[in-house]
Amino acid sequence: MKTAITPARAAEMIPDGASLLIGGFMGVGTPNRLIDALVAVGRKDLTVIANDTAKPGVGIGKLISAGAVSHVVASHIGLNPETQAKMISGELTVELVPQGTLVERIRAGGVGLGGVLTPTGVGTPVEEGKDKIEIDGTTYLLERPIKADFALIAAKQCDYVGNLEYTLTAHNFNPVMALAGRKVIAEPDHILPIGAIPPDAVKTPGVLVHYILERKH
Amino acid sequence: MDAKERIARRVALEVEEGTLVNLGIGLPSLVANYLPADVHVYFQAENGVIGLGARPPEGMEDRDLTDAGGGFVTAVPGAASIDSAMSFGLIRGGHLDMTVLGGLQVDERGYLANWMVPGKMVPGMGGAMDLVQGARKVVVAMVHAAKGSPKIVPECTLPLTAMRRVSLIVTEMCVIEPTEAGLVLRELAEGVSVEDVRAVTSAALILEGEPKVMPLA
């Protein structure tokens, strides 16, 4: 059983320089209260691993605007001109990863695999510096697993065990990232009594979740 | 009829009954407007829905239901919400019947470049590399030339999206099928001659008999 913590308490646990897996796709399914709390305490030098950096003023875009991030691993930064400007000025560095590769690298990190073999990126700039392995006549890139100090997960609702349920396109990277954080902090919209979420509806079992954020006031 | 509508109306004829289709952002997304009435498909949005529907009426948006561009959408009856690992598993795993994508360049090998212009535009590849790598059929829908400058070229000078021959190139002027032998000019839009196409195409074009008149949905 877990007791819910405040966003400020969660932000205190995350030190400057930490690596964060953050769920969301253009701000949908992003743990916004955790992000606001990190901005409020002025965190610096964070590594953010996420699908994208949303837009200025939205989701992960707030961390970028606040100068909290020194390294980004993402599949797309095209809709956030601030990320691009800071990359060009050298304020932060960016590693671009194909979306399907990014999610599988995180999954590999979370499920104890030494990497993934994918045909995506062969013959493109993505292959630079990577081992190529041929299996049954097809060439694959060896892509290494990703883990992080923390995974910040947005969920539709949870119970006090930490079982998580997601909704619609707010799933995106969240269920996979919940496997790959050394500490997992879930931000639900609602918290239900234990037993109120049917077992079949649980996408992330509570054993993976270390902390749950109190519900919105 | 403007160039983009003409392209979308031609691509719509490529969509087959009962298939799973992913439309890219921008011009490709227009294809959904021109599907023949007897063709029923599921559209995938790679951020996590199979069975993407139209934009909801104002006041009925769900903040957790968007397309890959972040715009509000609906889900049709029979839709499924999925996480990013499932979404890209479908794409890479050969379960996606067709994708329609925009292009910056396509070359005589049928290779597509559509994700970056070094030194100018580095938005990230998002899901494009996985889509071109994995979809069973890849249709490039693009305006034929960039202000008179050819986009269908002998060899891409921009970084490739994938080393995979795309299935079809549809422009407002013509339809080209990349083959083992090179680019075959299959159809010409009404009022367009082979010479007109060659004037704005730097790649070699192969004629196999008289090109047909490009039909439109």
Q: DSSP readout, A14-59? A: S-TT-EEEE--BTTBT--HHHHHHHHHTT--SEEEESSB---TTST
Confidence band of B198 (pLDDT split at 50, 70, 90): very high
Query: For residues B205 and B175, is the Cβ–Cβ distance under 8 A?
Result: no
User: How many C-beta atoms surround the C-beta of residue B39 within 10 A?
Assistant: 15
Which residues sit opposite B61 in a β-bridge?
none
Q: Do B70 and A26 touch (CB under 8 A)?
A: yes
Which residues sit opposite B22 in a β-bridge?
B44, B99
Torsions phi, psi of A214, nearest 5?
A: -60, 155
- pLDDT value at position B121? 80
Q: Do A169 and B129 touch (CB under 8 A)?
A: no
Digit-coded pLDDT (tens) for B56-102: 999 999 999 999 988 999 999 999 999 999 999 999 999 999 999 99
Q: Do B65 and A171 touch (CB under 8 A)?
A: no
Q: Does B119 touch chain A (CB under 8 A)?
A: no
What dihedral angle (degrees, nearest 10) is formed by the CA atoms of A125, B89, A144, A212? 120
Q: Do A107 and B85 touch (CB under 8 A)?
A: yes
- Cα B192 to the chain's mean position, in Å? 22
Confidence band of B161 (pLDDT split at 50, 70, 90): very high
Alpha carbon distance A174, B186 (integer Å): 45
Q: Does A39 touch chain B (CB under 8 A)?
A: no
- pLDDT value at position A177? 98
Q: Is B61 a catalytic residue?
A: no
Catalytic residue among B14, B16, B46, B180: B46
Closest CA of chain B from A124, distance in Å: 5
Query: For residues A132 and A117, is the Cβ–Cβ distance under 8 A?
Result: no
Domains of chain B, start order: 3-213 (3.40.1080.10)
Give, as one character, the DSSP assignment of residue B36: -
Alpha carbon distance B114, B105 (integer Å): 7
Please choose, from the candidates A155, A179, A175, A173, the residue with its C-alpha nearest in 3D space to the C-alpha of residue A165. Answer: A155
Instruction: Give ipTM to 2 decimals.
Output: 0.96
Give, as one character, the DSSP assignment of residue B23: E
Instruction: Tell me the mean pLDDT in the region B7-14.
Output: 97
Instruction: Tell me the mean pLDDT in the region A194-208.
Output: 98
Digit-coded pLDDT (tens) for A87-137: 999 999 999 999 999 999 999 999 999 999 999 999 999 999 999 999 999
A106 by Cβ neighbours in 10 Å (0-12 / 13-18 / 19+) ranks as: buried
What average pLDDT does chain B have? Answer: 96
Q: Is the pLDDT of residue B120 over 90?
A: no
Q: Do A171 and B83 touch (CB under 8 A)?
A: yes
Q: Do A75 and B163 touch (CB under 8 A)?
A: no
Pick from A27, A84, A100: CB nearest B91: A100
Chain B residues inside the 8 Å CB shell of A101: 129-130
- pLDDT value at position B196? 97
- Read off the tokens for A16: 């400057």
Domain ranges of chain A: 7-114+145-212
Q: Does B46 touch chain A (CB under 8 A)?
A: yes
Digit-coded pLDDT (tens) for B124-138: 999 999 999 999 999
Q: Does A172 touch chain B (CB under 8 A)?
A: yes
Instruction: Tell me the mean pLDDT in the region B187-195.
Output: 97
Chain B residues inside the 8 Å CB shell of A107: 85
Q: Collapse the DSSP code of B164 into the 3-class scheme (helix H, G, I; strand E, B; otherwise coil) and give the result.
A: coil
CATH number of A7-114+145-212: 3.40.1080.10
Please choose, from the candidates A12, B109, A121, the residue with its C-alpha nearest in 3D space to the C-alpha of residue A130. Answer: A121
Chain B residues inside the 8 Å CB shell of A138: none
